[in-house]
Amino acid sequence: MQKSKNEFNKLKSNTIGKLYLRGLKEHWILATIMFIFMALVAYCTVFNIRIAQQLVILLSAKNMYSLLTNDNQIMDKVMGELVGEGTTMDLSGLLEDPQKVSNVFSMMGLEGVIVKNNQLYTKMFMFEFTINQWIYYLIGNILFIVVAMYIAYLANGFIAQYQETALRQNVVKSILEQDIHFFKENKTGNIISSVVKDVQVIGDQLKVAPIIVIYIFGSSFGALGFLTFLDWKISLSTFALIAGVIVISVIVIFAIRKPVANTAKIERNLNNDVNEKIQTVRLVKSTGTWNEEKSAFIDRYQKLDKSKRLSISLTTMIAALLIGGIGSFTLASIIFGQFIYSGESLKILIIFSTFTAGVFVMVTPLFQLKEILEKVNAANQSLKNIDHILNSNSVIDVDKDRKIDNFEGQIEFRNVDFSYPDESDKKVISNINLRFEKNKKYAFVGPSGCGKSTIAKLLLRFYDVSNGELILNGNTNIKDIDLKSWLANVGYVDQEPQIISGTFTENITYGVENWSMDEVYRAAKKARIHDLIMNSSEGYNTVLFESGSQLSGGQKQRLVIARMFLKNPKLLILDEATSALDNLVEAEIQSELEKLMVGRTTISIAHRLSTIKDFDKIFVLEPNKGITDCGTFDQLVSKTGIFKTLFELSN
């Protein structure tokens, strides 16, 4: 186990950023594709600002050129209004020299306009473009951005999905590798929520957040660079305001982190309690407390609603700042331009148009950033929940090189003490010395809390002994052998039959290797459940509901016994296997259990003394005293003591 845990620990992360970077490293080909296309998207997006600038210049120049070339009629009217009727302007000399026209445009702030054959051009990369050609370029650029963004999102989505799947797999793996005490300390609802909800929250963030952040950096810094090159004074003034809003938004995120996390905790606890009440619905129905439960949950949901409304009111501050604040900055360039370039109206117009396009390029992804920032606290809380599972290390080392392929049925407890991890100062059993021989039957009896079920838990290695040794075959410490190889020799029948959601065949063969259907049939017949299975809709392929809910308690226990017959273990542990059954069903099941005990070492944790009359040795335990007596049934019942008292009470 230690090796697998070390490999698994490599996937641990305390930040979403580290988790994503690990994904980029592990899937570097997809990462390279994503970065290349995001770089192209950022370049094309920023270049659209350049196209917008050229279009504004050409459209302004075209408007002026139309005035000059429209048979001078418009200019003559203008001169007539300004100077007097009959006044005309001869521009033929000017129009005959395209260079002079270009110079006039430059003087008016329309730099780079080229006049050829009554057509206006601007130049880029040694190529000359008309208005229509720039528009076609813009359309092609937009189409390319759509395709490139799709490819980038696809590559990033695959990386995120790989990480989400790996995270989910390893959370489940970590849960299955935990000691049994982990499930005592942590609520089932919280564990399930981490596997289902928390991993999904993180996966959703990984699919969207990184690519938006990359796009923001690429397009925003590109736009910042271009607009700064265009006019650094207005750029610095405008972007200082934008940066201020972003800084305030980040401060707000940190300020609301605690209340958002508190809301998530309240919801998580409430969902866990709902899950618990559903699992114990028979208790609610049998005690008539449904009205009290409804009132309690309504009250708690109202408190959750109040907490969520507070979270919404805080998180929407981010939306107000980003959408309201940054959105209004598209107009900032004309305000600053008026102060800086007072009197140069045409230049202000070009700057305003270009800056509007540039700020739009920067602001658009920031609107998407709003949703990411609102969810980042929830994602971090989910990651903390997952880290709690991933960082809960198992105390029991289950993976060992040494196997126990030939268990002879001998077990010995040598000076064994045991305390539960969360109650280390309270000994459940103290200085116990026991020896179990091959093919004999042993039972443990005593009042609740005496430690009899602890014996079974130690044999199954749900826990390790606190002190002393548990020896197999006379010379092998149970801690020194591979746990799976040991459990292959052990059969366990609990008072609550463990049934999985699957077919009858899957339930009988669970944990059993190298079986055939003929062996399954024989095992089911021995457990007297074959006829029931054959009368089911699909026979052995009939799917059982959750926990085998369509079966009675006795039928579930027979199914488990069939599993034991198929497994054919050398050690059989019965932990109050019939205590939950009525007398008639108990007698039937006990008959099958007695068949199962033949030819194997059996250890029974007994609740009903009638089930252990034929056992070779019975150990009597008392709370805080340990083993106080032992002997056969007849020996114990014939002398004064706790066993006789229990027997008389049971009758």
3-state DSSP of 220-260? HHHHHHHHHHHCHHHHHHHHHHHHHHHHHHHHHHHHHHHHH
| Alpha carbons 255 and 273: distance in angstroms, whole number | 29
HSE-up of 445 (CA within 13 Å, CB side)?
A: 30
- For domain 2-53+132-390, give the CATH number: 1.20.1560.10
Geometric angle at alpha carbon 336, from 332 and 340, rounded to 5°: 165
Does residue 403 come out as left (phi exceeding 0), alpha (psi in the -120 to 50 range) or beta? beta
The highest-level CATH class for domain 411-650 is alpha beta
Geometric angle at alpha carbon 422, from 417 and 425, rounded to 5°: 50
Q: Which of 269, 313, 321, 277 lies closest to 295, judged by CA?
A: 277
pLDDT at 122: 86
pLDDT in tens, 340-394: 666 565 666 666 677 777 767 766 776 677 677 667 777 887 888 888 888 887 7
Place of tokens 């972003």: 246
pLDDT at 33: 94
**Cross-strand pairs, 122:** 129
Place of tokens 């190889």: 485
pLDDT of 210 above 80: yes
Mean pLDDT of 467-491: 89
Geometric angle at alpha carbon 536, from 534 and 531, rounded to 5°: 35
Question: Taking the domains of the chain in order of start, what are their residue ranges?
Answer: 2-53+132-390, 411-650
Please return the burial class of 249, using the count of CB atoms within 10 Å of its CB with bins 0-12, 13-18 and 19+: buried
pLDDT of 87 above 60: no
| Alpha carbons 458 and 255: distance in angstroms, whole number | 49
Residue 500, phi then psi, degrees to nearest 5 = -100, 160
| Alpha carbons 218 and 38: distance in angstroms, whole number | 8
Mean pLDDT of 629-640: 89
Residue 224: how many other CB atoms lie within 10 Å: 20
pTM score > 0.85 for this model? no
pLDDT at 352: 67
What residue type is assigned to position 153 of the chain?
Y
Geometric angle at alpha carbon 543, from 539 and 544, rounded to 5°: 110
